[in-house]
Structure 1
Amino acid sequence: MHIVAIIAGLFALVGVLQQCFGTLLVRRFTRAAPAVPSAFPAVALLKPLCGVEPLTELALESFFLIDYPVYQLIFGVHDAGDPVLEIVARLRQRHPARDVTVVIDPTLHGSNRKISNLINMLPAARYDTLVMSDADIHVPPYFLHRVVAALQAPGVGLVTTLYTGLPGTPHLATLMGANQINYMFLPGALLARMFGRQDCLGVTMALTRGVLAEIGGLQAVANHLADDQVLGRLVRAKGYELTLAQVIPATTVPEQDFRALFRHELRWARTIRALVPIPYAASVLQFSLLWASLALICSAGAPLAWLLFFTV
């Protein structure tokens, strides 16, 4: 058998084993008994917004439906004419009992516009437990219970969450983008954590005002594209642990054509390559179907190659 076929077959086999083990880790994570908060501190929940995408209203409304004793919802935009403010206004009318603050401030504090938005919003936060979450995230009602419980564990300074992909449209590109998150990112993130990585994921970043002050505030990440990863590194550098909350929100996948999906995936890949080049290079093993197909072609259809191909 051709040497290329043998190497490709081994890569495909490693990819299959990785997928199987990653699936087991996801199953174990989702079935684990969740921690229960020892207390219920009031929470300031910050949502930086910019524009409207598919399912924006559905995503934002999920935060109005959170079941938690006391929390403040803070929405921030740079532009008073941003159409997302109409959605926020509708949701406030629909849920008048919710404590909602809207901050409109065009001030920029660095190259990262989302972080600038959050810096502008922070003075409006009345509570010391801070939870920052992206605009396109859908959460279950018990979201804050799980995040607060994780933050109360000894030695923890920062809490983040995994996430799944929720197609924003029925377009094939959108479905493929969601599947990439659900079947490659999610198990891969748990595998990486098993090997010692403690990545902070921007979908959810929860910490106390005191810890944030220790690292220099959000100004410390205002000029970083991968603000979540830098924030995680700064918190860990202070001796704190970064942990996962026992909850998995969903993120809207909005790309409605293959060109937009390709640009998104390329931007994501470049960011990962810049942050963690060695794990990025090793991620080629995730593409087991590609390697199995190459093994099949280079082996001229050998029986073992066919078996591997259909196993993948």
Structure 2
Amino acid sequence: MELALIGLAGVLLGLHLLSCAVVGWRLRRPLPPRVDAAPFVTLLRPVCGLDPLDAETLGSSFALDYPAFEVIFCVADADDPVVPLVEGLIAAHPGVAARLLIGEARVSANPKLNNLEKGWQAARGAWVVMADSNLLLRRDYLWQLLAARGPEVGLVSSPPVGVRPEGAWAELECAFLNSNQARLQLLADSLGFGFAQGKTLMWERAFLAARGGLAPLGQRLAEDVASTRLVRGAGKRVALTQRPFAQPIGRRTLRQVWARQLRWAKVRREGFPLLFPGEVLNGSLVALVAALAGGGAGVAAGVAVVWYGAEMALALACGWVRPGRALVMLPLRDLMLPALWVASYGNTTFEWRGNAMAPGALRKMAG
């Protein structure tokens, strides 16, 4: 039994080291060359409420190094406090084709899709990019997305990496986002089965229009899960950009981190019920318990040093963390992962921006 437990710990540690190596190699490779042609692209940015970093993240829409694009900001309510900010940004950048559209169309029970629908209908680009308002766009953002296209690709996406955390709980949020979730998503894409992430979704307009537009993306708790299933159902795959894009984190409370991670766990459980049970192995806890039970404290300590050493090396090489507090947050994250996994089985409902979200309601509305 002891050897079996040590073997289990060794297998899990080996898989973890392999994932760090594959992702580290991917991120150190030079970026792909820019595509020869620059098709006209529509950038859709849904906005709702006013966050402290909105001026920076939304302002990055106007600094893109791309010759042919338009920006459409979408807001549901004319009285939303973000409206003056967006109007000011548009006025300050007259050289960029940008506009603000107000209102929503009830094409689903997903308020984000309802907000974006008017932008989707107004888009002039053959390629349409949906980018969340809290994502900081690099100057080469559109070039990187276009470089990931291919004949077998139905959707280009990218996970976010958390940057500029303020306080301990924001560091914890980055521990979830970066060397755990982004690492696993980039690994999956490197192995040929990428999953969409709602922070960035780039569609060929004709492809999605032929399958019903935005409405089918409301058939699941989150549009990224529905997007992944739609693309795979069409015989295509989701491709991720070679490198992820930054999301400034700012301040977080422990309650906010827990609620956000629990929401995403419920989304994955509802969207991928056959894969989700395997998430109990995510993180170091099972490996450490197996090592402790099979080989004692010394073996478990050795596994922990190698496990977190590899993860920290990856995160530091990629600029995802700062030394110090981040190292404490990795074990805390791994203690929370099993608790989140268990808690997600309670129900599949949650609240997002004041809206109750449930899969049954989504399917009924979309159908």
If the TM-score is normalised by the length of the shorter chain, which range does it land in? 0.7 to 0.9
Q: 1:309 to 1:202 in 2, by over 3 A?
A: closer
Give the structure 2 partner of residue 19 of structure 1: 16
Give the structure 1 partner of residue 314 of structure 2: none
> 1:192: how far off?
2.5
Give the structure 1 partner of residue 316 of structure 2: none
Q: 1:51 to 1:183 in 2, by over 3 A?
A: same
Consecutive unaligned residues of structure 2, counting only runs of 5 or more, are: 308-367
Q: 1:53 to 1:291 in 2, by over 3 A?
A: farther
Amino acid at match of 1:28: W
Correspondent of 1:276 among 272, 277, 300: 272
Question: How far apart are the structure 1 equivalents of 2:53 and 2:227?
Answer: 28
Question: How far apart are the structure 1 equivalents of 2:88 and 2:261?
Answer: 33
Amino acid at match of 1:308: V
Q: 1:13 to 1:282 in 2, by over 3 A?
A: farther
**Could you give the per-residue CA deviations for residues 172-210 of structure 1, whole angstroms, max 9, x where no partner exists?**
111111121111112211333345433111111112221
> 1:258: how far off?
0.6
Question: How far apart are the structure 1 equivalents of 2:67 and 2:118?
Answer: 26
SS in 2 for 1:242: strand
Question: How far apart are the structure 1 equivalents of 2:97 and 2:234?
Answer: 33
Amino acid at match of 2:18: F
Give the structure 2 partner of residue 243 of structure 1: 239
- Could you tell me whether the CA contact under 8 Å between 2:42 and 2:129 is conserved in 1? yes
- Could you tell me whether the CA contact under 8 Å between 1:200 and 1:232 is conserved in 2? yes
Question: How far apart are the structure 2 equivalents of 1:58 and 1:11?
Answer: 46
Give the structure 2 partner of residue 123 of structure 1: 121
Question: How far apart are the structure 2 equivalents of 1:134 and 1:302?
Answer: 45
- Could you tell me whether the CA contact under 8 Å between 1:64 and 1:98 is conserved in 2? yes
**Could you give the per-residue CA deviations for residues 12-71 of structure 1, whole angstroms, max 9, x where no partner exists?**
433432332222222222233414212101111001111123422211112211100011
Question: How far apart are the structure 2 equivalents of 1:272 and 1:241?
Answer: 18
- Could you tell me whether the CA contact under 8 Å between 1:54 and 1:252 is conserved in 2? no
- Normalising by structure 2, we get a TM-score of 0.76
- Could you tell me whether the CA contact under 8 Å between 2:43 and 2:71 is conserved in 1? yes
Question: How far apart are the structure 2 equivalents of 1:8 and 1:96?
Answer: 64
Amino acid at match of 1:253: I
Question: How far apart are the structure 2 equivalents of 1:6 and 1:292?
Answer: 14
Q: Which deviates further from its counterpart, 111-120 or 126-135? A: 126-135
**Could you give the per-residue CA deviations for residues 270-306 of structure 1, whole angstroms, max 9, x where no partner exists?**
111222234332233332156425743x469453333
Q: 1:6 to 1:120 in 2, by over 3 A?
A: farther
Amino acid at match of 2:89: L
Amino acid at match of 2:299: L
SS in 1 for 2:169: helix
Question: How far apart are the structure 2 equivalents of 1:301 and 1:149?
Answer: 49
Question: How far apart are the structure 1 equivalents of 2:274 and 2:8?
Answer: 16
- Normalising by structure 1, we get a TM-score of 0.88
Question: How far apart are the structure 1 equivalents of 2:196 and 2:203?
Answer: 12
Amino acid at match of 1:191: L
SS in 2 for 1:45: strand
SS in 2 for 1:287: coil
Q: 1:284 to 1:54 in 2, by over 3 A?
A: farther
Count of aligned pairs between the two proteins: 306
- Could you tell me whether the CA contact under 8 Å between 2:160 and 2:199 is conserved in 1? yes
Q: 1:292 to 1:235 in 2, by over 3 A?
A: closer
Give the structure 2 partner of residue 81 of structure 1: 79
Structure with higher RCO (Cα < 8 A, 6+ apart): 1
Question: How far apart are the structure 2 equivalents of 1:221 and 1:125?
Answer: 18
> 1:261: how far off?
0.9
Alignment of 1:1-312 (within 5 A): 3=1, 9-33=6-30, 34-151=32-149, 153-167=150-164, 169-253=165-249, 256-289=252-285, 291-292=287-288, 295-296=291-292, 298=293, 301-312=296-307
- Could you tell me whether the CA contact under 8 Å between 2:152 and 2:237 is conserved in 1? yes
Amino acid at match of 1:272: R
Amino acid at match of 1:269: A
- Could you tell me whether the CA contact under 8 Å between 2:193 and 2:237 is conserved in 1? no
Q: 1:171 to 1:148 in 2, by over 3 A?
A: same
Amino acid at match of 1:113: P
- Could you tell me whether the CA contact under 8 Å between 2:186 and 2:194 is conserved in 1? no
> 1:91: how far off?
1.9
SS in 1 for 2:275: helix
Amino acid at match of 1:104: I
> 1:75: how far off?
0.3
Question: How far apart are the structure 2 equivalents of 1:12 and 1:224?
Answer: 35
- Could you tell me whether the CA contact under 8 Å between 1:53 and 1:254 is conserved in 2? no
> 1:170: how far off?
1.1
